């Protein structure tokens, strides 16, 4: 029971991070029907930007309050990651609208390889260990020497995810930007006829996705205390799995899928084998796509000629 509660907490934390990345996948897929393969690497780059910013803030500017530092890091990482994703969309995806079917996907794969290797070349291939940022824990249960703890960093991650999700849900459901986004999603040509700036809306979708990925990247850095150029690939695929599991195109689905994937991964590691945890996540992806392609909360896809 103790182990179970502890793993539940860990799983929800990890799941929140996956959920934040998954939103980027699901929104882009919803609006232009493309799997943004480079999104995992955008997440990885954001954690590097966060790392550099954190080092600047703490060592050069000498800010000692960890929460102030984290807030600055978060804003800076969100800004630069958004700028990057905006540029990526502008350079690598926009010219390919209306090109043949595989073109945007291949371009995205190229972008993903480019980003990972760009970071490898500019920052080196080694793991970058970060000094622990938030170390306080709350002991919520203790029995026979086994403590179930809830770390402050876990609380930060879960609270931040919930707040962002609410804000984001509000954005999509209640504002004119969200309405434009949903309109473009349904029918791009009609939306353009009705005076919606389609390019602008799609760009903004990428920017929002990147901002959320940057939050995930910063949280990932804070939680695991390490950044590596290869860390975009596997979390990226897992977040995509989360998006598919929740039903691609659906925002609550992405978060639900993220939480489920996080829980499955953590429980699998705890009760079965830690070596095969990635195999488990990848298998879920294949099984979901084969047997439940519309996901848990998604709409079934109608193929149009």
Report, in Å, the least distance between residue 27 CB and other proteins.
15
**What whole-number distance in Å separates Cα of residue 210 and Cα of residue 113?**
17
What are the angstrom distances between the C-alpha of 24 and each of 18, 175, 192, 193?
10, 19, 23, 27
Compare residues 174 and 299 and give the one whose CB is closer to other proteins: 299
Compare residues 115 and 196 and give the one whose CB is closer to other proteins: 115
Compare residues 1 and 305 and give the one whose CB is closer to other proteins: 305
**What whole-number distance in Å separates Cα of residue 82 and Cα of residue 88?**
10
Report, in Å, the least distance between residue 127 CB and other proteins.
9
Report, in Å, the least distance between residue 106 CB and other proteins.
5
Report, in Å, the least distance between residue 3 CB and other proteins.
23
Compare residues 110 and 170 and give the one whose CB is closer to other proteins: 110
- Which phi and psi angles does 51 have, rounded to 5°? -60, -45
What SS3 state is found at 256? Answer: helix
Report, in Å, the least distance between residue 210 CB and other proteins.
12
Compare residues 97 and 179 and give the one whose CB is closer to other proteins: 97
**What whole-number distance in Å separates Cα of residue 28 and Cα of residue 104?**
12
Per the DSSP assignment, residues forming a β-bridge with 141 are: 148
Report, in Å, the least distance between residue 10 CB and other proteins.
22
Neighbours of 132 (CB within 10 A): 10
**What whole-number distance in Å separates Cα of residue 103 and Cα of residue 142?**
56
Compare residues 144 and 275 and give the one whose CB is closer to other proteins: 275
Residue in the structure block whose two tokens are 């209640």: 174
> Cα 136 vs. chain centroid, distance in angstroms?
25
């Amino acid at each position: 029971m103790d182990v179970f509660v502890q793993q539940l907490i860990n799983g929800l934390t990890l799941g929140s991070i996956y959920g934040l990345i998954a939103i980027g996948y699901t929104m882009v897929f919803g609006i232009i029907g493309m799997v943004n393969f480079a999104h995992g690497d955008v997440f990885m780059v954001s954690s590097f930007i966060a790392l550099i910013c954190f080092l600047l803030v703490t060592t050069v500017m000498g800010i000692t309050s960890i929460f102030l530092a984290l807030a600055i890091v978060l804003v800076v990482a969100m800004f630069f990651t958004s700028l990057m994703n905006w540029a990526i969309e502008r350079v690598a995806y926009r010219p390919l609208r209306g090109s043949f079917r595989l073109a945007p996907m291949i371009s995205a794969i190229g972008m993903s390889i480019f980003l990972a290797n760009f970071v490898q070349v500019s920052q080196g291939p080694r793991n970058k260990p970060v000094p622990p940022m938030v170390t306080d824990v709350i002991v919520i249960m203790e029995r026979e020497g086994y403590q179930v703890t809830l770390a402050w960093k876990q609380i930060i991650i879960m609270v931040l995810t919930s707040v962002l999700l609410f804000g984001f849900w509000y954005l999509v459901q209640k504002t004119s930007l969200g309405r434009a986004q949903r309109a473009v999603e349904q029918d791009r040509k009609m939306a353009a006829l009705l005076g919606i700036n389609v390019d602008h809306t799609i760009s903004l979708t990428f920017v929002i996705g990147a901002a959320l990925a940057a939050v995930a990247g910063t949280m990932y850095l804070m939680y695991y205390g390490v950044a590596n150029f290869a860390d975009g690939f596997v979390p990226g695929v897992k977040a995509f799995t989360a998006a598919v599991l929740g039903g691609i195109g659906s925002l609550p689905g992405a978060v639900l899928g993220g939480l489920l994937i996080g829980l499955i991964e953590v429980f699998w590691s705890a009760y079965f084998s830690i070596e095969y945890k990635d195999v488990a996540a990848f298998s879920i992806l294949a099984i979901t796509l084969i047997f439940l392609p519309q996901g848990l909360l998604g709409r079934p896809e109608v193929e149009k000629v």
